[in-house]
Amino acid sequence: MTEKRSFTLDQQEIPFQPGDSILQAAQRAGVYVPHLCFHPDFSANGSCRLCVVSIAGKTVAACHYPARSGLQVTMNNSRLQQQRLRLLQLLFAEGNHFCPSCEVSGSCQLQALAYDLGMTHYHYDPFYPQRPRDGSHPDFFIDTDRCIFCDLCGRAGTEQDHKPVYRLGGRGEQTRLLIYSASGKLGDSRAAADDKAAHVCPVGCILPREGHYRDPIGERVYDASPIHWVGNRRRDQHAAPAADSAGDPSHD
Amino acid sequence: MSRRVAIDPVTRVEGHGKVTLMVDDDNRITEARLHIVEFRGFEKFIQGRPYWELPLVVQRLCGICPVSHHLAAAKAIDQIAGATELTPAALKLRRLMHFAQVLQSHALHFFHLAAPDLVFGFDSDVSRRNLVALIQQHEALALQGVRIRKFGQQIIEAISGKRIHGIAAIPGGMNAALDPGAVREFQDRVGDIKTWCEQTVRLVRKLYLQNRPFHEAFGHTDASSLSIVGGADQLELYDGDFKVIDADGALLHRHPARQYHSLLREQVKSWSYMKFPFLADHSPATGWYRVGPLARLNTCCGIPTPLAEQARVDYLTTLGSPVQSPLAFHWARMIEALHCAEAIGSLLSDPDLSSDELRVQGDKCHEGIGVIEAPRGTLIHHYQINDDDQVTMANLIVSTTHNNQAMNESIRQVAAQHLDGRSLTPELLNLVEVAIRAYDPCLSCATHAMGKMPLLLALQSTSGNLLQSLSRDADGHIQYAD
């Protein structure tokens, strides 16, 4: 007889498979855990830290913490929500995120999480960094002002496209999205239109040219429902799920 | 010793301004300066942005007429995207959106901002001169104004997703068709809107003529008029070429809109962030001009909708052409509002509106110039991009900027007529505001300034000494400071 593998997440029993992280198991069970840098197709990175949960009084990242039978995991309490809010505010303060004119507004996971967590202001003084923009590629425009350093593009390039195009360079405040090419421009790199790496950005950093404003207000990914309902989706995925399919594990 | 008067703040005007009156030893007003003292720098910070962002970014210049900025930028990026001719559906959607914008903005300008002065009198109790008092004492009139504005805003919302700062125009067209259900609903309501606009034209006519000598003399300034016009010099708000007439009505220029830079020059003065445009073949001192409803009804030879045309003929027959009194702005404004209501009614019945053919593309180029008639006058957006589609140059000449010197002249006239000796009074401050409001309640987009519109009135000698100042806060408190 096989022992049933499960843990509890906010008192809900979550089954898991060997090798699952808490976040992977929760996603498979249809339970939404806030995150930005995690994608089920790629190795976990643990950089955004928005998936923080509490286990026996210890705060850990759910995307990295291995699921084990009998764990009692707390995801939603006021302390953890406040920590997520502060982490999110740090991300906003670190870049130049001007939602009113951003073409990903309404379909942006960073913005959607900010709404979901009730963010009303930056809290921290904005850095107003000066970062380059890159319009050298015929299919994509890069606006590094909006990069949140999740490295999803880097991991997708390495693990699925099997070619390096994007990577993070520098440390701390000086961290930047860099392009593998002699000139440092995307147009001189091996980037192609159907690269997975170009279609995983959760924010408005790697943009298909002239794409997003074609979505009328009301039809964007998060216009109708919040991210904890829709999941982490991009506009180039299919339409948002119906209300009764919340937490569809096929969402990344 | 001559001296200077300054007004601060101006109320029921959007933005932040200061007026300085220069006075000589004989208490004669020698010069008036409307300073725009805030700065936003849109032309600079949009450099580096991809060109398709422009309609979304620059509409944030203003919350009253964002659609005009949205569409002026859209016309410019159409050219960059190589879209030489839009599909009929896209063009008509844009025109519908623009008519709705002008209608709602004119309703806001007249009913919410100017009507309290006109209905209650410039010298009435300041606590009564506002929209709330208008609703209390003239409920039907005030609510009509609110509903006219709401109608325009709802059309904008149906097309762009939001009443303010929506998304509609994209390079070469529009992003979505108009819902047929919304069209039917607007068709049911547009008849009332036309009727109310007709009534308002009659009202503003009556108010103007009730005290005609005062209204004609108030801030009277002979100026050239500039606008775009359509075929056969018809009133045209979305697309056309420049027509300029002088103060006597004689034709000065017909000029292609995209060659604005050979028609106009801009002068910079140290005391204001707002530039001073003038006709290139004149000096700055003689080449200034007026834009907006007053100028448009001076330059056009007809309005292509019957009720508004009838009102235009009556207006010019009564006042004589060209009209030069700033308070006639309101009359001209409501004739245009009537035109917009009629034009909206026609467009709502147009079968092209239901078409899904909304976008065309062509060969990209590096420059685009969009010229449109915004509610308060001619609006020019000019952009250049590099090979990577990033904006390298932007030049925005907005309505308020065109009217800069005309407003100064009207303020000077008002001050010359009403400055009592050397004393600044709340009454004078209010009259100066009335003159500014006739042109424009929205100084913010001129320097792309933000916030409310407090105004400082300062009295200054010609040698530069501040003699007295009078300011009004946003909450209406008046403060003297010598």
State the nearest Cα–Cα gap between B65 and chain A, in angstroms: 16
Nearest by CB to residue B175, choosing from A141, A209, A214, is: A214
Q: How many CA atoms within 13 Å lie on the side-chain side of B294?
A: 28
Give the pLDDT confidence of A109-148 residue by residue, as tens digits.
Answer: 999 999 999 999 999 999 999 888 999 999 999 999 999 9
Nearest to B38 by CA among B480, B380, B456: B456
For a pLDDT cut of 90, what percent of chain B falls above it? 62
Q: In sequence order, what DSSP letters do the residues of B383-397 get, joined into one string?
A: EEE-TTSBEEEEEEE
B366 close to A (CB below 8 A): no
| A217 closest CB neighbour out of B48, B167, B171 | B167
Q: Can you give the pLDDT at residue B6?
A: 60
Beta-carbon contacts of B48 under 8 Å, excluding residues fewer than 6 positions away, are A133, B390, B391
Tokens 């008192």: give the residue: A11
Which A residues 143-172 touch B at CB under 8 Å? 143
Q: Provide the pLDDT for residue A243.
A: 37
Does residue B50 belong to the interface with chain A, where contact is any CB pair within 8 Å?
Answer: yes
Of residues B427, B345, B389, the one with CA closest to residue B46: B389
DSSP string, A112-160: HHHHHTT--S--SPP------EE--SSSEEEEGGG-----HHHHHIIII
The answer on pLDDT for A249 being more than 50 is no
With residues binned 3-state (H G I as helix, E B as strand, rest as coil), the percentages for chain A, rounded to 5, are 25, 15, 60
Say yes or no for a CB contact (<8 Å) between B56 and A133.
no
Region A214-218 average pLDDT: 90
- Each residue's pLDDT tens digit, B435-446: 888 887 665 444
pTM of the model: 0.90
B42 touches chain A (CB under 8 A): no
Question: Nearest-CA residue of chain B relative to A143?
Answer: B49
Does B170 touch chain A if contact means CB atoms closer than 8 Å? yes
pLDDT band at B7 (very low <50, low <70, confident <90, very high): low
List, in sequence order, the alpha helices (H) in chain A: 22-28, 78-94, 109-116, 152-156, 227-230
- Please provide residue B181's backbone torsions phi and psi, each rounded to the nearest 5 degrees: -65, -40
Radius of gyration of the CA atoms of chain B, in A = 22
Q: Identify the pLDDT of residue B27.
A: 77
Q: Is the minimum CB–CB distance between A128 and chain B shorter than 8 Å?
A: no
- The answer, yes or no, to whether residue B453 has pLDDT greater than 80, is no
Contact B192/A at CB under 8 A: no
Q: What is the predicted pLDDT for the residue at B449?
A: 33
For residue A135, the chain B residues in CB contact (below 8 A) are 50, 386, 388-390
DSSP B100-159: HHHHHHHHIIIIIIIHHHHHH-TTS-TTTSSHHHHHHHSHHHHHHHHHHHHHHHHHHHHH
Query: What pLDDT score was predicted for residue B232?
Result: 96
Hey, are the CB atoms on B171 and A136 less than 8 Å from each other? Answer: no
The closest CB to that of B52, out of A143, A210, A217, belongs to: A210
A21, pLDDT greater than 50: yes
A101 with B52: Cβ contact below 8 A:
no
A-B Cβ pairs (cutoff 8 Å, strict):
52
Q: Which amino acid is at B232?
A: A
| Cα A216 from Cα A220, distance rounded (Å) | 7
Least confident of A23-32, A206-215, B14-23, B168-177: B14-23
Distance CA B288, CA B333 (A): 21
Q: Does residue A209 belong to the interface with chain B, where contact is any CB pair within 8 Å?
A: yes
Q: Which residue of A lies nearest to B46 if distances are taken between CA atoms?
A: A101
How far A141 CA lies from chain B's nearest CA (Å)?
8
ipTM comes to 0.88
Strand partners, B266: B277
Strand partners, B279: B264
Structural domains of chain A ordered from first start: 99-234 (3.30.70.20)
Q: What is the pLDDT of residues B283-312, one digit of tens each?
A: 999 999 999 999 999 999 999 999 999 999
A20-45 as b/e, with b when 16 or more CB fall inside 10 Å?
bbbbbbbbbbebbbbbbbbbeebebb
